[in-house]
């Protein structure tokens, strides 16, 4: 795993090691690296930020929603509480306003009931129960006069508590009700009596429903035993048992996150309703807070994708521009170098020609004088015998001068021939051997072992001898300098493919550090002391090979050595910008 | 593109110069050989005889004179090479077109005499000096002449004529002789000639086999651009 | 008629020895020095009428020698021996005070003429 990762990093930062890309492809790889790096640098934070924002936003919304649920539950609880309080107060008022006599009067009770009913929503009946639990008077739809409640819990409770709110119960006709009972002092009876009102559960249900319910949500009222007081959507009907997942505190709203209550997460909110036996429960499964993030996410995604796209495009364009500028600048330098090279070549040959013309003058002048002198002697002196030696000497001098002229012009001719880049048919091995010949002394002097592995039957190539030799000379010279003392230089030739032959020059010198490898072909790159070498050797060699349709490749390892490989096309290619 | 043309130009120019130098060298070698032979001859005369007759003396004198003549010729040739070489010193100078043509023709003498083609001059004596690039001009005329040399049969002539009007100078290269088919490749591609004449600010026209190069007297406009 | 004293200063030994011999055959008192350093001492000793000076000797600026000669004795006439490509130097020499110049290879007749002219102008 590590290996793959390291490999990936290496490819990213040092593609040269893997592709040995030199020349034009160098720019493509540079471009790719810039774009990738830039994209990564801009993408990664963007992704991180977007992700964080998303989850953060979601959690805020969720929190918000929970608070909303809590608030709604609270509100509803208060409403119910006030309602119940209100009803209790009303009943109390009734109880205190009327005497036992009045209340036990059926007609009066009916009357009170009718009036009460108008104001009292949900009131089902009203009844007066004596201290024995017998309903003495009753106003309402059911025939409940004389009913004995003495065994009922509520009766006993209200005796103790003075006020009692009951749980919902299945009343007559199987309709759920709850009752509020208040104890009243009945001095006539020398005891107490109870005024009881039955209220339709629908009222409670209505309250529960005020909680803003969405499709999958459920709000209902239960008692402390978990018996549903109002019907619920998903958790059972009235008077069914609802399993309480938690312990209900005495007071206050609690909101919990529950996992998979009938599948999926839910918010479970509950609050005991003060002054009542009930607990308000809301089970909220809906997740509206997710819906918003969805939109958010869509838009965010869109914007992100758009920005990534724009970013990458801009990066790419910028990389393109920058790399093109670099390439252009490099090209300009190369061109300027080549131009300088050419111009200086022209200037030098001009100077050489002029120099030759000048140099020849001297020997010509000599011949002139010698011949002139001979003429004079012949003209003026009669006795030639004594001058014979002299004459022969003069003639000999003329010969010398003629030879001198010849040498000068010969040199000029040689130089001129070298000026002409020609495509000749060449034997690569011979060329290599010739170059080695120039350096043999130096190599031997430095105790460097030389190994030649020249393939026999190497196909003849069509190229420029002078320029190839210049390249080999340069590289081998560098190899010699890299070794300094002792060591080995191995020169080999072989066929690469049907179009190419190669010359490899390997040395066991100090090697080139990997991070410098791509710079060695740049102009003015030199590891030599100031003043030694121009740093142009490899640069020019590289340009020469490019023009000849070949290429120079290099591999190196510190302290192990370096291998330069020169690839030469068998047929004179068109190198870039190459021409004769 | 501009640069490529320029570097191609340089390469061809170098080829031209190489050819001229080769021609020069060849000619000088001949002169030197003659001188050597002559000196040898005199030496032989001296060595072989016990005493010299008047005839011997006269002969020696003649030979020695021809040696001196030959020296003169060689020296002249070197002079021309020198001047030709110095044309490349500056890209812009004021010069006489006839002189540059003369240099070229002298230096090409050997080349043309290989095919026994005679180079004739018909120079306008009152040709005004122009301000331009002499090396490029020589280069161009060389290209034209070189092509003619290839295309002409042996024993032909090429006339190089200079003339002027108030605004321009014309150089005509007029071949006289039969053309031959040739597979030999010339040094100067057509584009080079076009490029050169453009750089010189002039024009080339062709009528039949005659080529006319026209140059403005005021100097090449292109070169006036710094 | 006094014999004209000529000093030749040129590092090309073969050339200058042959030329001075030819001059001697024509009744000139011609002497040659081959090193620039010897020029001034010899001039001061021999006091020649005409100096034939090569300006392009290695290591030494011919113009400086010319100036030195002129400084020493303005009546000494200097004729410059010039190579084919040295027109500018020759012209400079004239400006500095040389009498004339001849191009190598020299024509003996021309040299004689100029020597005579130089002598006459003294």
Residues spanned by the domain of C115: 5-120
CA angle A379, A384, A389 (to 5 degrees): 115
Top pLDDT among A207 and C6 is at: C6
Asked if A386 and A372 touch (Cβ cutoff 8 Å), the reply is: no
User: Across the interface, do B72 and C85 touch by the CB < 8 Å criterion?
Assistant: no
Neighbouring residues of A32: CB distance < 8 A, sequence distance ≥ 6: A15
Per the DSSP assignment, residues forming a β-bridge with A555 are A563
In three-state secondary structure terms, A499 is: coil
What pLDDT score does A490 carry?
94
Contacts of C84 in chain B (CB under 8 A): 75, 78-79, 82
Residues in chain A with CB shorter than 8 Å from the CB of B51 are: 384-385
Q: What is the predicted pLDDT for the residue at B119?
A: 93
The pLDDT value given to residue B226: 40
If pLDDT is split at 50, 70 and 90, which confidence band does B159 have? very high
The phi, psi pair for A567, rounded to 5°, reads: -100, 130
Domain range summary for chain B, segments of one domain joined by +: 2-26+83-224
Token pair, residue B179, equals: 């053309």
Closest Cα in chain C to B84: C85
**Does the pLDDT at position B161 exceed 80?**
yes
Closest CA to A194 of A240, A114, A140, A126: A126
- In angstroms, what CA-CA distances link C84 with B77, C8, C93? 11, 19, 15
What is the per-residue pLDDT for B98? 94
Strand-strand pairing, A500-507 and C77-82:
unpaired
Shortest alpha-carbon distance between residue B186 and chain A (Å): 12
A360's tokens:
């020849």
Summarised one tens digit per residue, pLDDT across range B12-41 is 777 788 888 888 888 888 888 888 888 888
Q: CATH top-level class for B2-26+83-224?
A: alpha beta
| B28/A360 touch (CB, cutoff 8 Å), yes or no | yes
Q: Euclidean distance between the first and final Cα of chain C, in Å?
A: 14
CA distance A264 to A247: 22
The domain of A374 spans 340-419
pLDDT at residue C99 is higher than 90: yes
Could you identify the residue written with the tokens 């991180």? A48
Number of independent structural domains in chain A: 3
ipTM: 0.82
Tell whether B189 is within 8 A of chain C (Cβ): no
Residues A403 and A508 both lie in one domain: no
Any B CB within 8 A of A413 CB: yes
Q: Is residue A205 less than 8 Å (CB to CB) from chain C?
A: no
Do A407 and A447 reside in the same domain of the chain? no
pLDDT of residue A215: 76
CA distance C74 to chain B (A): 33
Chain C closest-CA separation from residue A384 CA (Å): 15
Contact across the interface for B75 and A371, Cβ inside 8 Å:
no
Average pLDDT for B150-162: 91
Give the pLDDT score at C104: 83
The answer to whether B220 and B133 have CB atoms below 8 angstroms apart is: yes
β strands within A423-544, DSSP E: 424-426, 449-454, 461-463, 488-497, 500-507
Question: Is residue A292, in this structure, part of any structural domain at all?
Answer: no
Kindly give the parts of chain A with pLDDT less than 50: 16-23, 574-580
The more confident residue out of A572 and B122 is B122
Residue B171: its pLDDT value, please? 95
Domain count, chain C: 1
pLDDT at position A523 is 66
**pLDDT tens-digit profile of B52-105?**
777 878 888 888 888 888 888 888 888 888 888 888 877 788 999 999 999 999
Within 10 angstroms of residue B222's Cβ, the number of other Cβ atoms is 12
DSSP tag of C49: S
Residue C79 CA to residue C77 CA, distance in Å, equals 7
Q: What is the per-residue pLDDT for A580?
A: 30
- Are the C-beta atoms of residues B43 and A391 closer than 8 Å to each other? yes
Lowest mean pLDDT among A32-36, B155-159, C35-39: A32-36
Residue C109 contacts B where some CB pair is shorter than 8 Å? no
Between CA A465 and CA A431 the distance in angstroms is 7
CB contact under 8 A, C22 and A376: yes
Same domain, A448 and A375: no
Which residue in C has a C-alpha nearest to residue B77's C-alpha?
A: C84
Residue A363: closest CA among A354, A352, A371, A353: A371
Residues of chain B contacting A375 with CB distance shorter than 8 Å: 61, 64-65, 68
Give the per-residue pLDDT at C44: 92
> How many CB atoms sit inside 10 A of residue B153's CB?
12
- Percent of chain B as helix, strand, coil, to the nearest 5: 60, 20, 25
Report the residue of B40, B85, B90, B195 to disrupt the A interface, i.e. the one with the largest count of A CBs within 10 Å: B85
Residues A163 and A249 in one domain: yes
CATH for C98 = 3.40.50.2300
Residue A297 lies in a domain: no
**3-state class (DSSP) for residue A382:** coil
pLDDT at residue number A565: 94
DSSP annotation string for A239-257: T-B---SSPPPSSS-EEEE
Q: Which chains touch A (3 or more CB pairs under 8 A)?
A: B, C
What distance lies between CA A117 and its chain's CA centroid?
A: 72
Per DSSP, the residues of A418-434 read HHS---EEE-HHHHHHH
Contact A416, B18 (CB under 8 A): yes
Which pLDDT score, from 0 to 100, does residue B6 have?
67
Contact C22 A394 (CB under 8 A): no
Distance from C-alpha of A321 to C-alpha of A316, rounded to nearest angstrom: 8
Is residue A326 domain-resident?
Answer: no
Instruction: Calculate the dihedral angle through the C-alpha atoms of A76, A79, A83, A85, rounding to the nearest 10 degrees.
Output: 110
Of A286, A305, A327, the domain-final residue: A286
B159: closest CA among B113, B124, B210? Answer: B210
A232, A349: one domain: no
Name residues whose C-beta falls within 8 Å of residue C83's C-beta, 6 or more positions apart in sequence.
A358, A361, A362, C56, C103, C104
The helix (H) or strand (E) run that includes residue A134 is: none
Residue A129 has what DSSP assignment? E
Question: What residue spans of A261-380 are helical by DSSP H?
Answer: 288-380
- Cα–Cα distance for residue pair B51/B48, rounded to 1 Å: 9
CATH number, residue A97: 3.30.450.20
């Amino acid at each position: 795993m590590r290996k793959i990762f390291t490999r990936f990093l290496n490819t990213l930062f040092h593609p040269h090691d893997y592709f040995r890309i030199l020349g034009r492809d160098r720019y493509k790889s540079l471009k790719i690296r810039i774009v990738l790096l830039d994209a990564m640098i801009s993408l990664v934070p963007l992704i991180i930020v977007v992700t964080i924002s998303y989850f953060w936003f979601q959690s805020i919304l969720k929190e918000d929603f929970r608070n909303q649920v809590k608030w709604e539950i609270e509100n509803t609880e208060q409403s119910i509480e006030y309602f119940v309080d209100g009803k209790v107060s009303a009943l109390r008022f009734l109880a205190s306003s009327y005497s036992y006599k009045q209340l036990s009067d059926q007609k009066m009770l009916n009357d009170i009931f009718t009036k009460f009913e108008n104001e009292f929503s949900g009131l089902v009946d009203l009844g007066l129960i004596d201290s024995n639990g017998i309903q003495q008077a009753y106003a309402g739809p059911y025939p409940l006069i004389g009913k004995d409640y003495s065994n009922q819990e509520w009766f006993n409770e209200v005796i103790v508590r003075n006020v009692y709110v009951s749980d919902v119960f299945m009343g007559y006709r199987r309709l759920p009700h709850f009752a509020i009972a208040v104890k009243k002092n009945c001095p006539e009876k020398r005891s107490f009596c109870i005024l009881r009102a039955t209220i339709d559960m629908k009222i409670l249900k209505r309250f529960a429903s005020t909680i803003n319910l969405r499709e999958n949500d459920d709000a209902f009222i239960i008692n402390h035993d978990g018996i549903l007081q109002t019907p619920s959507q998903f958790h059972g009907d009235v008077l069914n048992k609802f399993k309480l997942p938690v312990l209900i505190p005495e007071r206050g709203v609690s909101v919990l996150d529950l996992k998979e209550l009938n599948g999926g997460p839910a918010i479970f909110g509950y609050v005991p309703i003060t002054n009542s036996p009930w607990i308000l429960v809301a089970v909220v499964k809906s997740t509206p807070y997710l819906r918003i993030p969805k939109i958010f996410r869509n838009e965010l995604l869109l914007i992100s994708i758009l920005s990534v796209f724009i970013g990458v495009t801009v990066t790419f364009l910028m990389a393109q521009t920058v790399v093109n500028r670099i390439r252009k600048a490099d090209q300009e330098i190369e061109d300027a170098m080549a131009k300088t090279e050419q111009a200086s070549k022209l200037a030098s040959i001009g100077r050489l020609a002029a120099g030759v013309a000048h140099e020849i003058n001297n020997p010509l002048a000599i011949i002139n004088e010698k011949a002139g002198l001979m003429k004079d002697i012949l003209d003026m002196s009669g006795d030639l015998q004594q001058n014979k030696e002299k004459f022969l000497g003069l003639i000999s001098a003329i010969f010398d001068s003629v030879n001198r002229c010849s040498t000068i012009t010969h040199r000029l001719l040689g130089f001129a021939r070298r000026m002409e880049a020609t495509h000749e048919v060449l034997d690569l091995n011979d060329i290599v051997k010739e170059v080695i010949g120039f350096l043999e002394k130096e190599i031997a002097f430095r105790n460097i072992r030389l190994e030649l592995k020249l393939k026999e039957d190497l196909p003849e190539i069509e190229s420029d001898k002078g320029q190839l030799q210049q390249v080999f000379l340069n590289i081998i010279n560098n190899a010699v300098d890299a070794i300094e003392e002792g060591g080995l230089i191995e020169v080999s030739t072989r066929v690469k493919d049907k179009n190419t032959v190669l010359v490899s020059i390997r040395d066991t010198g100090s090697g080139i550090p990997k991070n410098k490898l791509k710079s060695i072909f740049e102009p003015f790159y030199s590891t030599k002391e100031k003043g030694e070498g121009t740093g142009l050797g490899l640069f020019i060699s590289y340009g020469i090979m490019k023009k000849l349709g070949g290429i120079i490749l290099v591999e190196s390892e510190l302290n192990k050595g370096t291998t330069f490989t020169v690839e030469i096309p068998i047929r004179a290619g068109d190198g870039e910008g190459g021409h004769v | 593109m501009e640069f490529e043309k320029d570097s191609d130009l340089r390469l061809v120019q170098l080829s031209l110069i190489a050819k001229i130098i080769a021609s020069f060298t060849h000619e000088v070698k001949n002169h030197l050989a003659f001188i050597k032979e002559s000196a040898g001859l005199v030496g032989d005369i001296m060595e072989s005889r016990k005493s010299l007759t008047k005839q011997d003396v006269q002969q020696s004198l003649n030979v020695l004179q021809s040696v001196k003549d030959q020296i003169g010729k060689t020296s002249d040739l070197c002079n021309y090479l020198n001047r030709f070489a110095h044309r490349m010193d500056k890209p812009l100078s004021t010069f006489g077109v006839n002189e540059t043509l003369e240099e070229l023709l002298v230096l090409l003498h050997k080349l043309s005499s290989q095919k026994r083609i005679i180079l004739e001059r018909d120079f306008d004596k009152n040709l005004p000096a122009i301000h331009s690039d002499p090396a490029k001009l020589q280069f161009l005329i060389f290209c034209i002449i070189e092509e003619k040399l290839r295309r002409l049969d042996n024993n032909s002539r090429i006339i190089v004529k200079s003339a002027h009007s108030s605004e321009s100078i014309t150089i005509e290269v007029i071949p006289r002789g039969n053309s031959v088919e040739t597979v030999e490749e010339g040094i100067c591609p057509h584009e080079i000639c076009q490029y050169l004449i453009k750089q010189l600010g002039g024009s080339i026209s062709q009528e039949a086999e005659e080529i006319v190069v026209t140059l403005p007297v005021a100097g090449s406009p292109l070169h006036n651009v710094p | 008629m006094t014999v004209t004293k000529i000093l030749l200063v040129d590092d090309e030994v073969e050339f200058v020895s042959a030329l001075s011999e030819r001059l001697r055959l024509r009744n000139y008192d011609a002497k040659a020095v081959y090193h620039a350093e010897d020029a001034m001492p010899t001039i001061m000793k021999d006091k020649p009428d005409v100096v034939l000076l090569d300006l392009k000797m290695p290591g030494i600026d011919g113009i400086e020698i010319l100036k030195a000669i002129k400084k020493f004795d303005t009546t000494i006439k200097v004729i410059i021996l010039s190579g084919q490509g040295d027109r500018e130097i020759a012209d400079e020499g004239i400006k500095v005070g040389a009498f004339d110049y001849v191009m190598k290879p020299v024509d003996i007749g021309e040299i004689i003429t100029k020597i005579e002219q130089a002598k006459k102008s003294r």
